[in-house]
Amino acid sequence: MKYLINLSYDGSKFYGYQIQNKKVTVEGELEKNLSKIFNEKINTIGSSRTDRGVHALDQYAHFETNKYINPKKLTHSLNSMINPSIYIKSIKKVNDDFHARFNVVKKVYIYKINMGKYNPLEKDYVFQYNKNIDKDLIDSFINIVSGEHNFKSFTSDTNKSDYMRNVTLSYKISKKTLYIEVSSSGFLMYMVRNIVGLLIDLNDKKKKISDIENIFKSESRTSLGRCASPEGLYLNKIYFK
């Protein structure tokens, strides 16, 4: 039988989602504690492999076992054992053909930027840019980057067979915090952080709006500048077919 876990976590406390030898990771914590509960080796498959420092409000992972435990009791047991920077929102049984990664139809990320004074209490959760970003610049940037493009320039991963992605960007500003929402059916490694990094470079006059078209055409990460830091990034929502 197959179970689906819905979880959230504070990414600042982990070396990313994916399991790593001798590192504390979200996947590692999940598998360690599930294996204790079921008294067998449990392997999980996550919907998204978030980087070190990246947070998740709506992550999913599935696992298989021949043993049955009531999902509500399992949720309670796992929460009582697991690292407190992870919260298991729910666990449910799913069909055997369900896959936490391949059944995803859309992922939504949010990137938070503090445009006001430096806030040391938020340094692990909101990027402390501490400068205003021009609203007209944001509008122009979003109009150009949204849509279907070859995003090879926005990733350091050179082993993909397809770099075409259809991306939707939107934003809001509240109390000097800029919230950038980026959604797509799939993302490349560091893609969202590189998109945000380009916006910041534009605001810092290191790049020009007219450069964006050539950046796409170059299909080279070297045409970009900074990669935005991970602490402002949140996996906000995942949708399944």
- Residues serving a catalytic function are 51
The Cα 74–Cα 91 span in angstroms is 7
H helix and E strand count, the chain: 5, 10
Q: How far apart are the first and last CA of the chain?
A: 20
User: Could you tell me the maximum CA-CA distance found in the chain, to the nearest angstrom?
Assistant: 58
CB of 113 closer than 8 Å to CB of 129: yes
Cβ-based burial of 52 (10 A; exposed 0-12, middle 13-18, buried ≥19)? middle
Q: Answer for the pair 36, 69: CB distance below 8 angstroms, yes or no.
A: no
Q: Give 51's DSSP letter.
A: P
Q: Cβ distance 56 to 7 under 8 Å? A: yes
